[in-house]
């Protein structure tokens, strides 16, 4: 009767191991898809020609720091996802322990990249003083042709005026340019380019940061499942040893 009970317990443990193993495999596949999506979105934001020109003109290259970290994180994720699949299918405890470490490393890079990206793209973040400084410099030097072209391009495309509003031109004793006015009503744009550009950057960075944070959650799940699988495999080995 005891042998029969032990046999039923071993069968139940094996079913649990199979369940955790294939769940871990499925999560690794999901992680690979999310990592690939994050890589594609990061590359698009990093090399988009028109957007890259604006970043260069306004000297806000700090916006790219978080994206660069997330590009590295996405490459790491695609590698780790394959390793996670292999370690789960092989049921190797050492490989699963390494997988837990790699999941933790990927989690840290994803979290750090998201934090830096949001710190240089959202409202009241560190990107706003940089935009304000660049816009003020452009207004001060707007008498130069190449500077006025950049200023006109930014204000017309974004629909903004000055750094914080039309009063910037008055304070700097500069005439209000035509691109600061709405072509329909003729009124000056109320919002400055600092706010408008921040909202523009925030809309783009929000998707990428959200995807990276979703991946961070998957890394936590992967690490927990790997730990559960290790414990189950260890228990199976102990039961096999006791049976002998």
Whether residue 232 is predicted with pLDDT greater than 90 in this model: the reply is no
Q: Return the SS3 of 63.
A: helix
- Residue 25 is encoded by which pair of tokens? 């495999």
Copy the structure tokens of residue 142. Answer: 């707007």
**Which sign does the torsion angle of CA 213, 229, 14, 89 carry?**
positive
User: What was the pLDDT predicted at 112?
Assistant: 95
Q: Mean pLDDT, the chain, as a whole number?
A: 86
Helix axes 2-47, 193-243, angle to 10 degrees: 160
Confidence of residue 8 (pLDDT cuts 50, 70, 90): low
Mean pLDDT over residues 133-139, rounded? 90
For residue 159, the 8-state DSSP code is T
Q: Are 160 and 195 in contact (CB under 8 A)?
A: yes
Q: CA 87 → CA 43, 160, 163, distances in Å? A: 29, 54, 54
Please tell me the predicted confidence (pLDDT) of residue 106: 94
CA angle, corner 49, sides to 156 and 139, nearest 5? Answer: 35
Q: Tell me the pLDDT band of 2, cut-offs 50, 70 and 90.
A: very low
The pLDDT-based confidence of 58 (bands split at 50, 70, 90) is: confident
**CA angle at residue 55 from 109 to 136, to 5 degrees?**
125
Give 181's strand partners.
188
pLDDT in tens, 156-168: 888 888 889 888 8
pTM to 2 decimal places? 0.84
Residue 148 scores a pLDDT above 90: no
* Least confident among 75-89, 137-151, 204-218, 227-241: 227-241
Reading the block at residue 221, the tokens are 């799940």
């Amino acid at each position: 009767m005891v042998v029969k009970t032990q046999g039923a317990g071993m069968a139940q443990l094996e079913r649990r191991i199979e369940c955790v193993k294939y769940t871990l495999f499925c999560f690794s596949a999901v992680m690979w898809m999310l990592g690939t999506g994050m890589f594609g979105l990061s590359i698009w934001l990093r090399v988009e020609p028109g957007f890259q020109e604006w970043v260069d003109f306004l000297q806000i290259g700090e916006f790219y720091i978080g994206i660069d970290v997330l590009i590295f994180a996405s490459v790491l994720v695609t590698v780790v996802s394959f390793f996670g699949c292999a370690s789960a299918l092989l049921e190797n405890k050492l490989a699963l322990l390494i997988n837990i470490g790699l999941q933790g490393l990927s989690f840290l890079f994803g979290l750090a990249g998201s934090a830096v990206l949001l710190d240089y793209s959202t409202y009241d973040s560190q990107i706003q003083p940089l935009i304000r400084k660049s816009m003020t410099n452009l207004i001060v030097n707007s008498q130069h042709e190449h500077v006025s072209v950049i200023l006109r391009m930014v204000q017309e495309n974004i629909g903004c005026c000055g750094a914080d509003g039309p009063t910037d031109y008055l304070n700097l004793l500069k005439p209000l340019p035509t691109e600061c006015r709405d072509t329909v009503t003729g009124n000056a744009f109320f919002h400055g380019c600092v706010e408008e550009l921040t909202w523009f950057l925030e809309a783009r960075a929000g998707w990428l940061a959200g995807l990276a944070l979703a991946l961070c959650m998957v890394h936590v799940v992967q690490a927990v499942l790997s730990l559960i699988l290790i414990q189950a495999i260890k228990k199976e080995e102990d039961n096999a040893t006791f049976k002998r």
